Structure 1
Amino acid sequence: MTPATLYPALARTEAVTWALLLLGMVLKYVTRTTELGVAVFGLVHGVVFLAYVLVTVVVALDQRWTRRMTAAALVAALPPFATLWVERRVERSGRLATSWRLAPGGERPAHVLERGLARALSRPVLAAVLAGALVLVATAALLVVGPPGGRAGA
């Protein structure tokens, strides 16, 4: 996968999981038919949210996004569907290349974060497995902490 395929895929998936979570909330709080939608879609959205944040940081670092653009992309994960707006904006502005800048044979890393990313890009399967494990560990930790608003608000 390239930045031009990975970031849009996560941005769109994050928006879809927002829609599913909102549907679950309607079923729970409006129709009062089931709480299952919030439980299932909340977890799915949480996992995708964390993956989106991780991918955004990785792509922003590799593609040399400005701090402002990176912050906008990260904040866009909070309101429903805002990742779609940011995704279109970065695509139209040419901030998503079809190759990784720091991949083997690419540019030389300039600082420690770029060196870490370059090392990860030199072993993409291992990096993907480690990224997935990081997202799952973060998800597990957040599940132990509890849902937003506390358990009574769930």
Structure 2
Amino acid sequence: MLTPRSLFRVFALSEGVTWTLLLAGLLANALTELPSGVVTVVGGLHGAVFLGYAVISALVGVNQRWGLGRTVLAVVLAVIPYATIPFEKQVERKGLLVGEWRREHSGDARDDHWFDRLYRWFIVRPLLLTVALLLLVVGIFALLLFVGPPGGWPATD
């Protein structure tokens, strides 16, 4: 089973890889006449990985008790190309990825909060958690597709 550390590291690295694909696709499109679908597909892949990284950052941030500021920072850094990689290295170096999933009440008063109880309920049901997180990512992705490209950006045909 994946640990918080291994899951976060996979998504942080994947975010960097998809940035490379996206930037290479945009550069290739500017220099050559790529079929319009290439950048759309690569952009969609990057967007899906970005959303996955955001959801996993939140999940791991809650598990590791990073606090709202560090968790939001983890998500926001995904907007900057490759910034997830040094962030991952920093939290690793500080020991903020150490430990297993919090499946049980630890005796810590913070575990009495309704959110932590709900969190643990999902963590002990990994299949249900995975489905819920996938539905969340797909729902956000669909909403963003419905809204359209960021303002001022030309839509690809």
Q: Give the structure-1-normalised TM-score.
A: 0.90
User: What CA deviation, in whole Å up to 9, does each residue of 1:33-79 have, x standing for no partner?
Assistant: 33333101110111111111111111111101133322321111001
The residue type paired with residue 9 of structure 1 is V
Distance 1:150 1:111 in 2: 43
Tell me, in whole angstroms, the C-alpha distance in 2 between the residues paired with 1:66 and 1:119: 20
CA distance in 2, matches of 1:52, 1:33: 28
Do the aligned residues in 2 keep the contact of 1:56 with 1:74 (CA within 8 Å)?
Answer: yes
Q: Percent identity?
A: 38
Counterparts of 2:153 and 2:93 in 1: how far apart (Å)? 42
The aligned counterpart of 2:112 is 110
Amino acid at match of 2:154: A
5+ residue gaps in structure 2? none
After superposition, give the CA deviation of every residue in 1:69-122 in whole Å (9 maximum; x if it has no partner).
Answer: 22321111001000001000011100012311x21x452523122122111101
Query: Aligned runs of 1:12-91 on 2, under 5 Å?
Result: 12-91=13-92
- Whole-Å Cα distance in 1 between the matches of residues 146 and 139 of structure 2? 11
Q: Distance in 2 between matches of 1:83 and 1:49?
A: 10
CA distance in 2, matches of 1:2, 1:56: 13
Aligned residue for 1:141, secondary structure, equals helix
Matching of residue 143 in structure 1 with residue 155 in structure 2:
no
Q: Which structure 1 segments of 5+ residues have no match? A: none
Partner of 2:122: 120
What RMSD over aligned residues (CA atoms) do the two structures have, in Å?
1.7
User: Structure 2 length as normaliser, TM-score?
Assistant: 0.88
- Which consecutive aligned stretches of 4+ in structure 1 deviate over 4 angstroms post-superposition? none
